[in-house]
Structure 1
């Protein structure tokens, strides 16, 4: 590799509400929670980022604060985002080098993002060391990552259930034909679980515990073919104030998530109503593609299929399909017309 090529290297980033993934040289080199721990007395001092910061979350004292700088798919804290991106990029080359490479960076963004929010993403990347910044919409990246030919004159519907938002997008001819975005996704599911345990069991749990419940026994249906066993959950009794343990079933979690999943179903139906008839015909033949971390919710594909009466295909690796597509877009950044510089 020549010096010039080494000094200008490309990284593709899925800057998500819940997790940030980075691809470099066709490999996922960073897969970390989107969270950073800062010194409260010196906000520029980074104490931890990613998994280490998540371990501190909700366990800190007055000198440390943990921040999730992205909310609902967009930047909520510009300075924390910049510091987090900078630290995550350092993970690509953990060892100190004499010459730091100039980064050509491709970042995926929600399709419903505003110009102000787009500028915030671009500025954060530039402040973190990017010399060239390209942006690609998440549904286009997800489609590339799934293996869809986005340039052909055929309609495809992508449902991307992330941490902050669920995007329902119809794409054809390398463009977005219609798009629905709702702020019901993984974070909302986590909140539903916390609220259900508080209401029905008088048990107060933290965000991390609710997240683990969602991952281990989260379900969209009350009658799974291969049901997970009941899960022990530790928390604080709201009546006595004493820590206690209870066992909860996947049926209780399915009940807690029911309203949020119903809203996603309504958004999908609304998007299908807005789809031009020729593209609707393609979607009927091909089915719908489900991606993002929310796609891992047990029974979700079966529930959506029962409601919409169309086949639902889950991406092979739904958590990584967007970043893989972003990596493909980076390699062909001069070819795809939907890439924004």
Structure 2
């Protein structure tokens, strides 16, 4: 079991905490708080066979789905784990320069968040990338454990708690007791996977291509419509590229149609929640029945998952305060 006390043994050595996420990267500096928070994006120019970094972080946001030719956008992490070591290194270098560059910290010692089910190879790749960026890694911390600490989940008692860390790239379901992860399961699907599923559906059914920004907007509009009285029909106005006309175009899609995509995505996560509940010992199950389920992570702020899990389990579900930053907050407390 991952015991939270074990992660405090090295905290005096760590100067920074890094939340290296699929959607966003954050750095917490001891004594200063969060000093860097930007999207996990890099833009490279490849004209000679050796890609050169053009931009990283927030500057790349406006370029997504708008580049062509030798420019290409890279997300260092896909589905919660490192997918491009070079991009990961460059993004971390950018984060260190931007966040702590003037504070004269050379090769800062750091703790890093990592998915609880990350393989040894995935963990080693993350450590190597961080070291190449100029970081000395003191400890890897399972992200659900950090999220629980950041969300003020009682950690030192024997009572059980269930937490679902709803990230952009992965969704992790854990049961905690005595400051440890007792049970953990995950699915490598998060908010970005739902965005991609929406874009794929529109492409397949309507022969119409939309970008990541439009897919995100569709997801948010559908979530808002579902949270309200969605008995009245709603059309979503999309702009993108029509394969039928061979050029830019507009398309109206009903929100009801997109609900089918949303439901399939939510069902995958609900299956994991049910599996963990089935494996939970009776006494911890009683605690979870009394306490309910806590959701953290950026995707938790959208009501889709919360309502789907509540309907499927019959348990109370609630969203942590500022769910997007629970992991960062927990990691930060470990170095403070």
Q: Which band: TM-score by shorter chain?
A: 0.7 to 0.9
Alignment match, 1:224: 228
- Corresponding residue for 2:40? 34
Measured after TM superposition, the shift of residue 46 of structure 1 is 2.0
Report the CA distance shift for 1:199/1:39 in structure 2 as closer, same or farther (over 3 A). Answer: closer
Q: How many residues align?
A: 321
Aligned-residue offset at 1:132 = 4.2
Counterpart for residue 305 of structure 1: 310
Q: Partner of 1:211 in structure 2?
A: 216
Structure 1 residues 265 and 132: alpha-carbon distance in aligned structure 2, compared to 1, 3 A threshold:
closer
Gaps in structure 2 of 5+ consecutive residues? 1-12
Query: Which residue of 1 is the match for residue 291 of structure 2?
Result: 286
Is it true that 1:116 corresponds to 2:121 in the alignment? yes
Give deviations 1:199-256, integer Å, cap 9, x for gaps.
Answer: 3433211223212322x31429846348997543211112111211234454333222
Task: Please name the residue that 2:242 is paired with.
Answer: 237
Query: C-alpha separation between the residues in 1 aligned to 2:297 and 2:229?
Result: 23
Partner of 2:69: 62
| Inter-partner Cα distance in structure 2 for 1:204 and 1:55 | 18
Cα distance, 1:94–1:55 mapped onto 2, change above 3 Å: farther
1:255 aligned onto 2:260 = yes
Query: Equivalents in 1 of 2:142, 2:93: separation in Å?
Result: 22
Which residue of 19, 22, 28 corresponds with 1:17? Answer: 22
* Rounded Cα–Cα distance in structure 2 between residues aligned with 1:186 and 1:289: 17
Q: Answer with 43-52 or 73-82: which moved more.
A: 43-52
Which residue is equivalent to 1:146?
151
Q: Which moved more, 1:256-265 or 1:291-300?
A: 291-300
TM-score, normalised relative to structure 2:
0.88
* C-alpha separation in 2, matches of 1:293 and 1:194: 20
Residue 175 of structure 1, aligned match among 165, 173, 180: 180
Shift of 1:303: 2.5
Which residue of the partner structure matches residue 3 of structure 1?
none
Structure 1 CA distance for aligned equivalents of residues 276 and 94 of structure 2: 38
Within 2, Cα distance between the matches of 1:83 and 1:280?
A: 44
Contact 1:126 1:133 in 2 (8 A): no
SS in 2 for 1:111: coil
Given that 1:34 and 1:69 are in contact with CA atoms closer than 8 Å, whether structure 2 keeps it comes out as yes
In the other structure, the counterpart of 2:6 is none
Structure 1 residues 29 and 229: alpha-carbon distance in aligned structure 2, compared to 1, 3 A threshold: farther
CA gap of 1:229–1:221, structure 2 versus 1, over 3 A, is: closer
In structure 2, the residue matched to 1:196 is: 201
2:138 pairs with 1:133: yes
TM-score of the superposed pair, with normalisation by structure 1: 0.87
Cα distance in 1 for partners of 2:110, 2:269 equals 32
**Is contact 2:227–2:303 with CA below 8 Å preserved after alignment?**
no
Tell me if structure 2 keeps the 8 A contact 1:217–1:249. no
Post-superposition shift, 1:94? 5.4
Higher normalized helix content (fraction of residues): 2
Gaps of 5+ in 1: 1-7, 332-341
Q: Does 1:90 align with 2:97?
A: yes
Structure 2 CA distance, aligned partners of 1:19 and 1:37? 15
Moved more, 158-167 or 21-30: 21-30
